[in-house]
Structure 1
Amino acid sequence: MLRRLDSSFWIVAVIALLIMFFNLGSIPLLDPDEPVYAETPKEMMSFNEFLSPRIYGEYWYDKPPLYYWLVAGAFQIFGISEFSARFPSALLGVAGVLALYWFGRDLFNKRAAMAGALVLATSIEYFYLGKAAVTDITLNFCLTLALLGFITKRYYVMYIFAGLATVAKGPVGFLFPGAVIFLYLAATGRFRLLKEMKIPTGIGLFAVTALPWYLFMYSVHGSAFIDTFLGFHNVTRFTSPEHPELVVWYYFIPVLILGFFPWTSMLLQSIWASITQSGHENSKVLLFLNIWAAFIFIFFSISQTKLVSYILPMYPPLALIVGWYIDRIWASRERRTAWPIILAVLSALLIAGMFTGLKLMPALSAGIMISTALFILMVLCTVLFIWRRQIGKAFFTQVIGMLLFSMVLVGMLFSGAAPYFTSKYIAQEFVANYDGRSPVYIVKFLHPGFTFYTNIYGSEIKAQELAAVVNSPGKAYIVIQQAEYKQLTEADRNKVKVMSESADRMILIKE
C-alpha cells in the first residue's frame, strides 16, 4: 500500500483536489438539474424517509437513491449548502482520478498511469461534472471501478461496483459493464475467462448490493415505480427523444471535442497508435479500453434522448489510452507536430466561442480575457517544448494550463454568468416580499431551484398554462422567465405587476 503512495500519486492527488474543490460552494445551484439533486435529499431529511425519494412533497421515481444518500450525508456533516450538495461529486471525481492511476499502474506503468489520471482530471467535461451536484460522476466512478476490476481480474470489485452503479443510475449499471465485457470476450475469443470470473458468488454480491432498494420500492409503490422508473426514465428515454431538436447522429462529436479538451489534440493519434502499434504486451488491454469507449459513444448516439453528460463514462478509457500514448512518445522523445497544431486550432475555436458569449454577457469580459491569455500561453509553450522534444514539459504545460483555467472558470466565468442560470437570487427576492398565504405558481424549469432556496413547493405550471393563471381569480405570485412573460398578450401583462427581476427570472404578482 505505502509503495503505491509515491510522488506520482501525490502529484495526481493534489492536482485533482485543487481542480475539484476550488470554490466548490461559491456558485449557486444551477437550474434545473443541480437543485433537483439537492432538494430531494433535503426532503429525505425533512420527512425522515431515506428509501422513497420525494420532491415537492410527492414521491418520484426519476433516479435511484445513491447520490441522494451521499448528499444527505454531506448535509448532515456540513449543513445544507451548495458545497454540501456538490461534495459527493467532487469527492468521487477525485477518487475516480486516483482509481485510474491505481489501476493504470497495473495495466501499463507508473508514468502512463500518471499521465492518464491527469488527462482525466483536466478534461473540461470531467472537472465540470465533478464540480456539479448531479449523478453523472457517481455513475462514472462506479462503472470505471467495475470495468477496471474486470480487466485487472479483481472480479469481486467488478460485481460490487456494478451493483453500486445500478443503485446510482439504474439498469445501465449492469448492462454497460456486461455489454463491454461480452464484446471484449467475443473480440478476443476469450470466453474461457468466464470460468475464472467467480460468477455464482459474484451474482450474489451484485444482488446484495443492487437489489434491496428495488425490491423495497416495488413492495411499497408497486407498478407506479416500475412504469415510471423503468418504463419512462429508461426505456422511453432511449426510444423517444426528450429533446427532439438534439436528435442528430453527430451530436456527441462536438461534445467529445470540447469535453475532452485539451487532450482532443492527441486523441485520434492515441487511438490509432493503440490499434496499430500497441505491441503484444498491451494489445488486449488497449483493445478493451477502445471497446469500452466505443460502446458508450455508439450506445448514446443511437439513443433518442441525448444530453452532454451521457458520454462521460467513455472518458476514463480514453484518458488511459492517451496516457499510454504520452508515455510512449515521452520515452522516445518523438516530435509529434500534429499535437500542437490541433491544440492551436481547438484553442482558437474555444476562444472564438467565448468571445461570442461575451456579446451576450459583458460581465464575463475579465474572465474571458484571462482564459484567452492562458490558452495562448499554453499553446505557445506546448509548441516550444514539443519542438525541443521535451514531451514531459509539454504535457505538464497543458495540465497546469487547465488547472488554472478550471479556477478561472469557477472563480470568474461561472460567477459572472450565475444570475442567468440560477433561481437563488429571485428566490431571495421572493422570500423578502411574500405575504405568506397567497398561492405561488412556478414554471417547471425554475421549480427545483425556487423550492430549494425558499422551502416553498408552490404549484408547477407549463408555459402554455400561464395565461390561464393570469386570468384566474384571486391574488397569486407567479415565478417565470422573461421568455414566458414575453409570450403573454399585452392585455394579460396589464393584469399583473412585475414585483422583482433577476437576470431573466421574474416574479409577477396578480392582485
Structure 2
Amino acid sequence: MRLPEFIRRLNLQSVAPPVVVGIIGVVIYLPKLGARNLEPIDEGIYANIALNMIEKGDWLIPTLNRYFNHAGEATIWLQKPPLSIWLQAVSMSAFGKTLFATRLPSALSAIAIGVLVCLVAYREWNWLAGLVAGCVAITAEPLMMYGYGGFYAVTDTQMVLFGSAFVYCSWRALRESPRYFYAAGVFGGLAAMSKGVAAGQFLIILAPIVILNYRSALTREAAIGAGIAIAIYAPWHIAAFTLQPDAFVGQYIEGQVLSRSAGALGTTGNALLPTANFPYIKYALKYVSPGGLLGLGYYSALIAAAAFTGLHRSGWRLPPMLALCWWWAAAIPITFSLVGGNQPHYLMPMTVPLALLIGVTASWLAIVVDNWTSRPLGKPAFVTACLLSVIVLVAILSPPVLDVRPTGTDQAEMADVINHQVTDDVVYYSMGMEGEHRLLPTDFYTEKKLAPHEVGERSPDGWLIAYHQQQGCEQVWEGNLTEIQLLDCRS
C-alpha cells in the first residue's frame, strides 16, 4: 500500500524526538497534579487571585483574599504581572476549581521547556542530541521535584519557557536571520509578563552577545521586535499604574524592585560574594557536582565531557553555540549574586543550557562509539535509549517527587469540615497578620465566604476559624501558632 504524499514527505527523524519528549512529559506531570494539597505560599496566593478573576471579574487589577479589610473585601495585589495567573484562571474556567486545573499551566510549561530544548538541540546538532537534551530537561530536579517546578501552580516555569525561547530566537536573529527578532519580541514580552523584573536576567544573558554582534542589533527588524515586546508588556503596566497608582508603586516598584535591589530580602550565610543574599555560586556548582542538590549533578561527567569533546571536535576553538550555553549557565548565579535573591529556585533557568550541553555530549559520544563499531548510530542509539528509559522510570516512580514540601493538609481538612458541617453562608476567622495567609488553601477548597473577625473582639454569632491557642469563643487572642481550630460560637 502506497502511503499518502504528505506522510512520505514527512521527516519522521525530525518529528519523533520532540513528540517523544512531549509524551514523556505528559506521562510524568499530568497524572500527579492533584496528588498534593495546595501550598499556602505561593500556590495559595495565585490560586486565590485566579478564583477572584473568575468569580468577581478582577482580570485587569488582581485581588487577593489575604489581607482582608474590615468589610471582608479582597485587597489589590500588584506584586507581579498577571500572565501566569490569567492562565490559571482560564484553566479553572475550562476544567473547574480543581488542583489539576490550577497547576495545569505550570505543568504544560515544564513539558514545553523539554520540547523547546529538544528542538534547539536538534536544530543545532542532531536528533540524538535533541532527544537526550529534552528528556534530561523535563526529568531534571528543578522542574520535577523542587517547590517551584511543574508540579506547582507558580510563575517560574512560564518565565523560564518564554525567557529561554527569547534568548535562542535573539541568538538566531543576531547570527543568522534578523526575522527571528519578531519571535524574540513575542517571547520576551511574555517572559516579562510572567514574572516581571525577574525576566531581566535573560537580557543580561543576551547583553554580551548583542555587544559582539552590535551591527545586527541595529536593524529595522530588531526595532520591530523590541516594539512587539513593549506592546505585550506595557499595556497592563500602564493600566495598573493609571487605575491603582499607589498600590502599583508600593507593591510592584518599591516592593519588588527597589527594596530587593537595596538588600531587603532575607539573607542566607556562606555566600561567596558579599553582595549576595544567598550562596548562588555554591549552589550552581552543586548543579554539576556528582549527586548535586538540584539533580543535574548526576550528569556531571557528561557536562564535563561537553567542554573537552566540543573543543577537540572544533580544533580547540570553542564553538559559538557551546559558548552561549556555558555563558548562559554561568550568568544566572552571577546575576543573582550581584542583584540579590534568596531562593535556590532562581537557578531554574540553568536547566536549559545544561541540558543542551548534556544532549550534545551524548550525541558526540555516540558518534565516537559509532566510529569504533562502524555501525551508523545503531548500538550507541540503543544504549542511549536504555539510559533514557532508566531516567524516565526513576522520574515516574520516585516517591520524593510529590513529598518535598507536604504542607496544606490542615487547611484541606478544615475546608472539608466546613463544607460538611457548617450550614451558615459565612465563616469568620481570627488569624492575625501572621496567620492570615494560611487560610488561602481553605478559601480555595470551600464554597463558604470567609470574613474577618478582629482579634480580641467578642466572638461572632456563628462559626469561627482560629489559628491560636484557644480557651473558648469568648477568649480569642494571638498566641503560639499551633493548629487551625474551627469553633462553634453560635449563641
Cα distance change on mapping 1:66 and 1:460 into 2, 3 Å = farther
What is aligned with 2:464? Answer: 477
Cα displacement (A) at 1:11? 2.1
Does the 8 Å contact 1:267/1:322 carry over to 2? yes
Instruction: Tell whether 2:414 aligns with 1:426.
Output: yes
Does the 8 Å contact 1:135/1:169 carry over to 2? yes
Q: In structure 2, what is the Cα distance between the partners aligned to 1:295 and 1:206?
A: 22
Q: After superposition, where does 1:107-122 map in structure 2 within 5 Å?
A: 107-122=124-139
Please give the TM-score of this superposition, normalised by the length of structure 2: 0.78
Q: In structure 2, what is the Cα distance between the partners aligned to 1:180 and 1:74?
A: 32
User: Which residue type is aligned with residue 181 of structure 2?
Assistant: Y
Q: In structure 1, what is the Cα distance between the partners aligned to 2:398 and 2:40?
A: 18
Cα distance change on mapping 1:84 and 1:123 into 2, 3 Å = same
Please give the TM-score of this superposition, normalised by the length of structure 1: 0.75
Cα displacement (A) at 1:161? 0.5
Instruction: Tell whether 2:185 aligns with 1:159.
Output: yes
Cα distance change on mapping 1:432 and 1:421 into 2, 3 Å = closer
- Give structure 1 regions of 4+ aligned residues with deviation exceeding 6 angstroms: 494-498
Cα displacement (A) at 1:52? 0.8
Deviations 1:29-78 (A, max 9, x none): 22321122211111011112311111112111122111111111111211
Q: In structure 2, what is the Cα distance between the partners aligned to 1:82 and 1:135?
A: 16
**Identity percentage over the alignment?**
19
Cα distance change on mapping 1:28 and 1:406 into 2, 3 Å = farther
Instruction: Tell whether 2:118 aligns with 1:101.
Output: yes
Instruction: Tell whether 2:291 aligns with 1:265.
Output: no
Deviations 1:356-375 (A, max 9, x none): xxxxxxxxxxxxxxxxxxxx
Aligned match for 2:346, one of 303, 306, 310: 310
What is aligned with 1:137? Answer: 157
Cα distance change on mapping 1:401 and 1:234 into 2, 3 Å = farther
Instruction: Tell whether 2:71 aligns with 1:84.
Output: no
Secondary structure at the aligned position of 1:240 is classed as coil
Cα displacement (A) at 1:268? 4.6
User: Which residue type is aligned with residue 449 of structure 1?
Assistant: P
Q: After superposition, where does 1:142-291 map in structure 2 within 5 Å?
A: 142-153=162-173, 154-173=180-199, 175-186=200-211, 189-196=212-219, 198-245=221-268, 247-250=277-280, 252-253=283-284, 256=287, 257-261=292-296, 263-266=298-301, 268-270=303-305, 272-273=307-308, 276-277=311-312, 279=314, 283-291=319-327
Does the 8 Å contact 1:100/1:116 carry over to 2? yes
Aligned match for 1:439, one of 425, 428, 439: 428
Larger mean CA deviation between 413-422 and 6-15 belongs to: 413-422
Q: In structure 2, what is the Cα distance between the partners aligned to 1:230 and 1:51?
A: 18
Deviations 1:282-328 (A, max 9, x none): 71111111111211121123344322321111211111011111111
Secondary structure at the aligned position of 1:141 is classed as helix
Does the 8 Å contact 2:311/2:319 carry over to 1? no
Cα displacement (A) at 1:152? 2.2
Larger mean CA deviation between 51-60 and 280-289 belongs to: 280-289
What is aligned with 1:452? Answer: 444
Cα distance change on mapping 1:422 and 1:73 into 2, 3 Å = farther
Cα distance change on mapping 1:444 and 1:397 into 2, 3 Å = farther
Does the 8 Å contact 1:90/1:131 carry over to 2? yes
Q: In structure 1, what is the Cα distance between the partners aligned to 2:26 and 2:437?
A: 32
What is aligned with 1:329? Answer: 365
Cα distance change on mapping 1:268 and 1:320 into 2, 3 Å = closer
What is aligned with 1:295? Answer: 331
Cα distance change on mapping 1:279 and 1:400 into 2, 3 Å = same
User: Which residue type is aligned with residue 213 of structure 1?
Assistant: W
Structure 1: runs of 5+ lacking an equivalent? 335-388, 462-468, 499-503
Instruction: Tell whether 2:97 aligns with 1:67.
Output: no
Q: In structure 2, what is the Cα distance between the partners aligned to 1:77 and 1:444?
A: 29
User: Which residue type is aligned with residue 474 of structure 1?
Assistant: S
Q: In structure 2, what is the Cα distance between the partners aligned to 1:101 and 1:431?
A: 46
Cα displacement (A) at 1:422? 6.3
Deviations 1:122-156 (A, max 9, x none): 10111341121111111011001101111222221
Secondary structure at the aligned position of 2:293 is classed as helix
User: Which residue type is aligned with residue 454 of structure 1?
Assistant: T
Deviations 1:333-388 (A, max 9, x none): 39xxxxxxxxxxxxxxxxxxxxxxxxxxxxxxxxxxxxxxxxxxxxxxxxxxxxxx
Cα displacement (A) at 1:267? 5.7
Does the 8 Å contact 1:160/1:209 carry over to 2? yes
Does the 8 Å contact 1:32/1:449 carry over to 2? no
Q: In structure 2, what is the Cα distance between the partners aligned to 1:234 and 1:460?
A: 33
What is aligned with 2:11? Answer: 3
Cα displacement (A) at 1:15? 1.2
Cα distance change on mapping 1:208 and 1:152 into 2, 3 Å = same
Secondary structure at the aligned position of 1:440 is classed as strand
Larger mean CA deviation between 236-245 and 109-118 belongs to: 236-245
Instruction: Tell whether 2:34 aligns with 1:14.
Output: no
Aligned match for 1:407, one of 376, 396, 415: 396
User: Which residue type is aligned with residue 159 of structure 2?
Assistant: L
What is aligned with 1:360? Answer: none
What is aligned with 2:479? Answer: none
Cα distance change on mapping 1:508 and 1:10 into 2, 3 Å = closer
Deviations 1:397-427 (A, max 9, x none): 45333423333346x8637974666621222
Structure with more of its chain in helix, by fraction: 1
Structure 2: runs of 5+ lacking an equivalent? 1-8, 66-73, 174-179, 270-276, 371-377, 477-481
Q: In structure 2, what is the Cα distance between the partners aligned to 1:446 and 1:254?
A: 35
Q: In structure 2, what is the Cα distance between the partners aligned to 1:197 and 1:317?
A: 29
Q: In structure 2, what is the Cα distance between the partners aligned to 1:194 and 1:497?
A: 67
Cα displacement (A) at 1:81? 0.6
User: Which residue type is aligned with residue 459 of structure 2?
Assistant: G
User: Which residue type is aligned with residue 61 of structure 2?
Assistant: S
- Number of equivalenced pairs: 431
Cα displacement (A) at 1:169? 0.9
Cα distance change on mapping 1:278 and 1:290 into 2, 3 Å = farther
Q: In structure 2, what is the Cα distance between the partners aligned to 1:413 and 1:120?
A: 15
RMSD: 3.3
What is aligned with 1:355? Answer: none
User: Which residue type is aligned with residue 138 of structure 1?
Assistant: Q
Cα displacement (A) at 1:444? 3.7
